[in-house]
Amino acid sequence: MVDELFHGASELEGRTIRNIAAVAMDAPAAANSGHSGTAMALAPLATTLFSRVMRHDPSDPSWPDRDRFILSCGHASILQYGAAHFFGYDVSVDDLRSFRQGLSNTPGHPEVGHPQNGATPTVEVTTGPLGQGVANGVGMALAERILRAEYGEDLVDHRTWVIAGDGCLEEGISHEAGSLAGFLGLDRLTVIYDDNHITIDGVTELALRDNAAERFAAYGWQVLNVGQQANDLDVLEAALRDAIAETKRPTLIIVRSHIGFPSPTMMDRREAHGTPFSPEAIAEAKAILGMPDEPFALDATLPGLNRSHLQERSDLAAPWRERVRDAGERGAALLAQLASAGALSTSVEVERFEEGSAVATRKAMQRAMDTFAPLTAGLTAGSADLTDNTGVVLKNSTPQGHDNPTGRQIHYGIREFAMGAILVGQALHGGLRPVGSTFFVFSDYARPSIRLAALSRAGVLFVFTHDSIGVGEDGPTHQPVEHLAALRAMPRLHVVRPSDANEALAFVEAHLRDPSPATTALILTRQDVPVLRGEDARASALHAARGGFVVRDHPAAVFTLVATGSEVSLCLAACDQLAERGVATRVVALPCWRCFDAQDASYRREVLRREIPSVSIEAGATLGWHRYVDEALGIDEFGLSAPASFVFEHFHINAARLVDYVVTTLEGAP
């Protein structure tokens, strides 16, 4: 009987579990694609969370003080969609039938802010690449702590629950994120480890013999192992309550489930991971569950019954909104910060760098932090162990930690990948505007989290300094060459390489002021760069935000010189040298290709003027430049260990190369 399958379940909970398990088979079978086994095995856990433990309200799914739920093993997305449906959220039976179909509200992996239909209820972050949801959870727990310390526990008092699988814990990001979470003592974070011993290739013992309990205990976590009690709701609830009772450490709950339970033919088999069940296997499992042997024969009364059950619980959305109103200015400030992601709203004058001086664009970052951080309510900033180098020191803040919950300065340690995903968690939590930084070459370590930040429209600001061969003596291991091209290929990501330090200041201010900023990679130099002056500076101030602009024009120009970042100064120098030879040229800067591409066609034509010859120069790979110019000069080779000036000359990234190219091209023209 079903009661023997799901110990401690109420009649309502038992029916809910059975229906989730049934739809976990039906939806992938209908799509001929999907992962049934994990969702079936975790139906009791999801029901325990949604029914007994989590603070959530289906009638107000975006209620800011709700508990956050993250399915890090996003391949089991039908579990989340099924739970959302049966607990009364706006996920219909038709949505379940449309699982993994075009433009449906139930995509193959959970997607926050799904572009066709808006946010699917209960989906807080985009998951799928394993392990990132664990780090997102660290970011969400960190955001909750900071806001709670700022506004008080009566207004901010929620927890973050993450379900992770074997794959999540195998991925390296879980080591990075787990280590930092333990150090920070994020006691409002609970990760439930679904230890089902199955991966795509077969049993985990093919490649894994870690002791997860000892590993996380060493990180400083509370570890609770409930053994093979994945179907006992009382045992699961007790462990979840023990996690709530812990006030100094994050908690890992280890649950030994059996993938595909209760299917006699699919349980504990690797095929249960990603292969839709056959009709015979579905019929057999449904018979054990006591469910009708027909697709999507779901209990239509369950959403309403579960919603009524949840309404009986006390501290939900409506009482919270009353407390916010009663808190007066404090409550109003919290709502404003949540609505704007803590954007910079106060008018402030930032001291500009002296025109004609030489300043590394990375130095703009520290000046921006000094000026804007005290006025940006949601700002958090930190780096992967390079805080002074990247200029993200918050002089009016102290390092974040369990004993300093208000700290906005976050030391991520040498954990670039986790840092990126933690930034995403902070941003998608709401109320915070996270900035994270490292050397540009190490964007390789962070790239998967940058990708999900862009996919999620998270609005994170990634600051990457030491942007080119200008790194110098550190050599090719530290000199980014292909990185600009790689990040520019990423959809929705604004890759910004400012022409000078003042332009960098303007980009940072614009990002902090935007209530819905684009996810941005700000690429800054280590070496000094001339600060634009006169009309060149005026052109930057007026038009750089459009992503591309004419720095210097000439009515008789016969060539256009185009660049980004430090190489804009080379174009200006070449322009002057060519003028001395009687050759009129114009100079264009393209600090953000994606921003420029978003401008109207007439503006782009006016800036590029493709009817005359053009050439670009950039201290990086030339891939992609031919969209904007006739010829691209750059570096399609790894760098060199030597002083920066030698390396630039070695690769001919200089004004002389531009002059020679223009003169040679014009002489060869018919």
Q: Give me the average pLDDT of each 10-residue run along the chain (670 residues).
A: 79 97 98 97 98 95 96 98 98 97 94 72 97 98 98 98 98 98 98 96 94 98 98 98 98 98 96 95 97 97 95 82 97 97 94 98 97 96 96 93 96 98 98 98 98 97 97 96 98 98 98 97 97 98 98 98 98 98 98 98 98 98 98 98 96 98 92
**Half-sphere exposure at residue 625, Cβ-oriented, CA atoms within 13 angstroms:** 27
- Looking at domain 2-308, which of 3.40.50.970, 1.10.15.40, 3.20.20.60, 3.30.565.10 is its CATH number? 3.40.50.970
CA distance 630 to 610: 8
Contacts with 220 (C-beta within 8 Å, 6 or more apart), sequence order: 182, 183, 185, 249
> By the 8 A CB rule, do 654 and 488 touch?
no
Domain residue extents for the chain: 2-308, 358-530, 541-668
* Burial class (CB within 10 angstroms; exposed 0-12, middle 13-18, buried 19+) of 421: buried
CA distance 391 to 365: 5
Q: Cα separations (Å) of 607 from 95, 236, 298, 528, 557?
A: 47, 63, 59, 27, 13
CA distance 542 to 354: 18
Catalytic annotation, pick one of 13, 124, 171, 416: 416
Q: Which residues of 194-208 are buried (b: 16+ CB within 10 A; e: fewer)?
A: bbbbbbeeeebeeee
CATH number for the segment(s) 358-530: 3.40.50.970
* Burial class (CB within 10 angstroms; exposed 0-12, middle 13-18, buried 19+) of 646: middle
> By the 8 A CB rule, do 110 and 128 touch?
yes
What residues are paired with 379 via a beta bridge? 433
Q: Which residues of 463-475 are buried (b: 16+ CB within 10 A; e: fewer)?
A: bbbbbbbbbbeee
Is residue 589 classed as helix, strand or coil in its secondary structure? strand
Query: Would you state the pLDDT for residue 114?
Result: 63
Is 416 a known active-site residue? Answer: yes
Is residue 530 classed as helix, strand or coil in its secondary structure? strand
CA distance 628 to 620: 16
Q: Cα separations (Å) of 210 from 138, 168, 175, 657?
A: 22, 13, 12, 56
Closest by Cα among 452, 364, 588, 409 to 130: 452
* Burial class (CB within 10 angstroms; exposed 0-12, middle 13-18, buried 19+) of 265: middle
> By the 8 A CB rule, do 401 and 184 touch?
yes
The owner of tokens 């000892």 is 214
pTM above 0.85, yes or no: yes
Contacts with 415 (C-beta within 8 Å, 6 or more apart), sequence order: 176, 177, 179, 180, 384
State which amino acid sits at residue 395: K
> By the 8 A CB rule, do 74 and 110 touch?
yes
Contacts with 79 (C-beta within 8 Å, 6 or more apart), sequence order: 20, 24, 38, 39, 42, 43, 46, 71
Q: Roughly how many angstroms between the first and final C-alpha of the chain, as a whole number?
A: 89
Q: What is the DSSP letter of 66?
A: S
Query: Would you state the pLDDT for residue 1?
Result: 42
Task: Order across the sheet with 585-589: list the strands.
Answer: 549-552, 585-589, 559-563, 614-617, 631-633
Supply the DSSP string of 242-307, one letter for each residue: HHHH--SS-EEEEE---TTTT-TTTTT-THHHHSPPPHHHHHHHHHHHT--SSTT---TTHHHHHH
Query: Would you state the pLDDT for residue 117?
Result: 54
CATH architecture of 541-668: 3-Layer(aba) Sandwich (3.40)
